[in-house]
């Protein structure tokens, strides 16, 4: 075990969820199966981000901890889950993302070998066009090259999460990118690593492909490329907060 590594009392899996009744039960079931074989103690926490559907009730029925975060902001929900967590390690997973035992075992192996945090390549349950496949491949290549974790799967030492102030609650979108950079700097200062795991992609729902038209996806991309501060404004971050 590398120097300064915590004693691995456990890992807390945190799922921020806003009106996720359609996807959450499947996500929890997959996680419960995945954590069953871990060498660390584990807990699953669902952060009900002021849902108006059965999100909280379904999470409780599945036997996981539920905390409530009234501020409708993904960074606030992630930080609320981290504040309630008991583990020395945190794993943030989106409510529509399927995690496998192999991916969680890869997290544990990375922890054992001096990794203070990181992410994984991502995939979707369906892709309908060459453009979508190329876009996903481009993100995964950029993620690995720049060591930027996607928000649907990012893990961190809990003490370093606290040291960097958690996710930036001034942002409505893109908070995982700044979080990756800050965590990478904090890890490097302690002689530790931040990496994108060499595992199969974690699979999320492609529901936004159905919800929004191609020109809307392009609009979001151009907005954030031309105006990097767009994530500070909820109106410009509508893509993450609007449901059909």
Position 233 in a domain: no
pLDDT at 2 over 50: no
What lies within 8 Å, CB to CB, of 4 at 6+ separation is 190, 191, 192
Q: Give me the number of domains the chain comprises.
A: 1
Answer positive or negative: Cα dihedral of 163, 99, 16, 134.
Answer: positive
Residue ranges making up the domain that contains 26: 11-208
Position 243 in a domain: no
Query: Model confidence at 1, in pLDDT bands (50, 70, 90)?
Result: very low
**How much is the mean pLDDT over the chain?**
92
pTM of the model: 0.92
The CATH number given to whatever domain includes residue 99 is: 3.90.550.10
What count of residues does the chain have?
244
The pLDDT score that the predictor gives to residue 38 is: 87
Position 235 in a domain: no
In the 8-state DSSP scheme, what is residue 4? T
The pLDDT score that the predictor gives to residue 3 is: 40
Position 168 in a domain: yes
In this prediction, what percent of the chain has a pLDDT beyond 90? 78
Position 55 in a domain: yes
Which residue is listed with tokens 């009106």?
A: 19
114-129 average pLDDT score: 91
8-14 average pLDDT score: 86
Position 172 in a domain: yes
Name the more confident of 189 and 134.
189
């Amino acid at each position: 075990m590398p120097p300064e590594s915590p004693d691995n009392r456990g890992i807390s899996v945190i799922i921020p969820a806003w009106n996720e009744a359609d996807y959450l039960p499947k996500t929890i079931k997959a996680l419960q199966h995945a954590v069953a074989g871990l060498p660390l103690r584990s807990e699953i926490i669902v952060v009900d981000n002021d849902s108006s559907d059965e999100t909280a009730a379904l999470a409780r029925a599945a036997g996981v901890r539920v905390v409530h975060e009234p501020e409708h902001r993904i960074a606030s929900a992630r930080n609320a889950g981290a504040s309630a967590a008991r583990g020395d390690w945190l794993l943030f997973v989106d409510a529509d993302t399927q995690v496998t035992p192999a991916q969680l075992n890869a997290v544990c192996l990375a922890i054992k070998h001096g990794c203070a945090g990181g992410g994984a390549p991502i995939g979707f349950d369906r892709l309908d066009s060459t453009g979508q496949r190329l876009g996903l491949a481009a993100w995964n290549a950029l993620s690995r090259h720049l060591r930027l974790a996607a928000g649907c799967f990012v893990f961190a030492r809990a003490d370093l999460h606290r040291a960097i102030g958690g996710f930036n609650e001034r942002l409505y979108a893109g908070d995982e990118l700044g979080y990756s950079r800050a965590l990478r700097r904090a890890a490097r200062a302690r002689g530790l690593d931040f990496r994108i795991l060499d595992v199969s992609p974690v699979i999320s729902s492609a529901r936004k492909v159905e919800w929004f038209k191609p020109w809307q996806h392009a609009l979001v991309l151009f907005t954030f490329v031309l105006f990097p501060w767009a994530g500070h404004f909820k109106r410009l971050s509508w893509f993450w907060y609007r449901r059909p």
